[in-house]
Structure 1
Amino acid sequence: MNSATHPISFPEPTIIAVNGVELEVFEAGRHNAGRPIVLCHGFPDLAYTWRNQVPALVAAGYRVIAPNQRGYGNSSRPAEVVAYDIEHLTGDLVALLDHFGYADATFIGHDWGAFVVWSLTLLHPERVNGVIALSLPYLVRGDVPWLDFMEAVLGSDYYFVHFNRKPGVADAVFDADPARFLNNLYRRNEPVMPPQPGMVLIETARTETPSGDPLLSESELSVYTTAFESSGFTGGINWYRNLNRAWHQLADADPIVQQPALMIYGERDAVAQAEHLATFVPDVEEISLDSGHWIHQERPEETNRAIVTWLKAQEASAG
């Protein structure tokens, strides 16, 4: 993707070989070399999701590193499902720090990116000096693997479960018309609705009458559409297909997040807020914004203010 497809002055990418793959990485603020922040997108998203955060973070004095993670954009898309497990995904981030010569960094993640960042703090705690998570709180590792629990409680049509039990079905639906799927998914001001029957993301991809209002401008939607027409959605879906594997891979990790953390919720997000987050993340600040799921895109100025305020407070407390 070049500057012609990035109307909001997004940085030019560099292809970097790390951890056995190549990642498409967007950087800004090199003059702020000593204060790195790594931005981790979710599904089905791109580093471009942070287009409104990058300038604000650079202006606040931070160096920003935003990868298209494996499976996305022009980054590698391995064929094997297990290549997307949590050890590989966190390993990519550790290798990025090594590439840039950083012992640690602050990590910001949204959606699946938040799960990766939370997991990074457990598997490689020495590489993380702070966590900012949007939408997805820390996921407690219970006695039953996550997918098995979801299937028992939410049924086989729940999209996490469907991705695993019916591999390839959703992928084909999304790939058939990326522009419609993405436009139908990226919405704001959606009415709160009770759970609907069927596989919600497949229904979203197929509907002719999406609810709410479009979140993305035509030029922004074009960036997403171009990327997913090239990559397809399977790489990102494969993250879901490793959720039970992650449950096993995190078994021996200390479940308590020791790093300071900021948790940003959307008050109208379908993702549930954590009731007892501080039990597992003792040094956490929790805030809510009037937003749906795409918090940092729906409320960029409020999100930026919350992030920068928290970062500055951490620096002040560190002395």
Structure 2
Amino acid sequence: MNSKFSKLVPKNKGKPIVLCHGWPEHAYSWRHQVPALVAAGYHVIVPNQRGYGNSSRPDDVTAYDIEHLTGDLVALLDYYGYQDASFVGHDWGAAIVWGLALLNPSRVDKLINLSLPYQERGETPWIEFLEQILGSDYYFVHFNRQPGVADAILDKNADRFLRNLYRKNVPFRAPEPGMVMINLAKAERAFGEPVMSEHDLAVYISAFEKSGFTGSINWYRNLDRNWYLLGEVDPIVRQPTLMIYGDRDVIPKFEKLADFVPNVDVVSLNCGHWIQEEKPEKTNQTILNWLARQDAT
């Protein structure tokens, strides 16, 4: 984590909410939510997580496992003097928030996750399972089985990769052979519509041109390690939870979500994967209305 936090008393001290970005994102992905949450009285904490932006990027792959990534969030709470907070996660950020609720439940007051629902652990380590189901070219598997290959291609083509990835309303096309993220990094044509403005996209491009992609991809390289680390914990998330899906997201909804998250409310928005970017006002309204109901009970 970047240790250069302000020493000033933060605005809205005492009502913390931590926003956790996904891959390949940045704290900047929450730019539409921060003003609305601050205006509602929340002390908003928005880190660039380990491996991103100016935060630390250790060389050791295991430094990006679930214990380290959730430990960073606990350290943020300790820094600001909070016992617990509400946490919001998107994509990989959601995975870390789910993990935090399992590993350190006393530090999580409420949680709101976007795109990625709770992942049932199952009997087979995740990469092995995904390889059996989706094959060796599936990008989770490729990142693990061919370390460094995708990293180099994405680093060389950061502008094109991010420009081709951050799209919405992408028409259905038959899958191409090869690994999808490498294909995006090499594709000369982008489909669908841009998710964000050129100005906003430039923030992401600049950040990844500086940091490279390896630190962020190392999150994927700990999926099997995380499977083992979570083997002995209580798998039930008991905190009040809001799950926000994008109806056109490629990530499927989890039919058994309430079995593992009994205090969950579910909302679906008419958008794809980049929920808070595609539907910022609707996302804000959904989050603030849910938080207000929770605070009223």
TM-score, normalised relative to structure 1: 0.90
| Aligned amino acid, residue 112 of structure 1 | W
Residues 160, 25 of structure 1: alpha-carbon distance in 2 compared, 3 angstrom cutoff = farther
**What is the Cα deviation at residue 60 of structure 1?**
1.0
Residues 93, 37 of structure 1: alpha-carbon distance in 2 compared, 3 angstrom cutoff = same
Distance 2:25 2:126 in 1: 23
1:136-195 Cα shifts (integer Å, max 9, x gaps): 000011000111100000000000000000001110111002111111000111123444
**Is contact 1:29-1:63 (8 Å) kept?**
no
Percent identical among aligned pairs is 62
| Aligned amino acid, residue 84 of structure 1 | Y
| Partner-residue secondary structure (3-state), 1:255 | coil
Q: For 1:98-247, what aligned pairs fall within 5 Å after superposition?
A: 98-247=78-227
| Aligned amino acid, residue 81 of structure 2 | G
| Aligned amino acid, residue 98 of structure 2 | W
Task: Decide which structure has greater strand share.
Answer: 1
Higher mean alpha-carbon deviation, 277-286 vs 186-195, is at 186-195
Residues 273, 225 of structure 1: alpha-carbon distance in 2 compared, 3 angstrom cutoff = same
1:104-127 Cα shifts (integer Å, max 9, x gaps): 000000000000000000000000
Q: Runs of 4+ in structure 1 displaced over 4 angstroms?
A: 23-29
| Partner-residue secondary structure (3-state), 1:242 | helix
Residues 25, 234 of structure 1: alpha-carbon distance in 2 compared, 3 angstrom cutoff = farther
1:272 aligns with 2:246: no
Distance 1:23 1:169 in 2: 31
| Partner-residue secondary structure (3-state), 2:219 | helix
Distance 1:268 1:120 in 2: 27
**Is contact 1:26-1:66 (8 Å) kept?**
no
Residues 298, 221 of structure 1: alpha-carbon distance in 2 compared, 3 angstrom cutoff = same
Give the superposed CA RMSD.
1.6
Which 5+ residue runs of structure 2 have no aligned equivalent? Answer: none
Distance 2:141 2:207 in 1: 26
- How many residue pairs get aligned? The number is 297
TM-score, normalised relative to structure 2: 0.97
Residues 170, 23 of structure 1: alpha-carbon distance in 2 compared, 3 angstrom cutoff = farther
Which 5+ residue runs of structure 1 have no aligned equivalent? Answer: 1-20
Equivalent of residue 303 in structure 1, options 264, 283, 290: 283
Residues 54, 295 of structure 1: alpha-carbon distance in 2 compared, 3 angstrom cutoff = same
Residues 245, 103 of structure 1: alpha-carbon distance in 2 compared, 3 angstrom cutoff = same
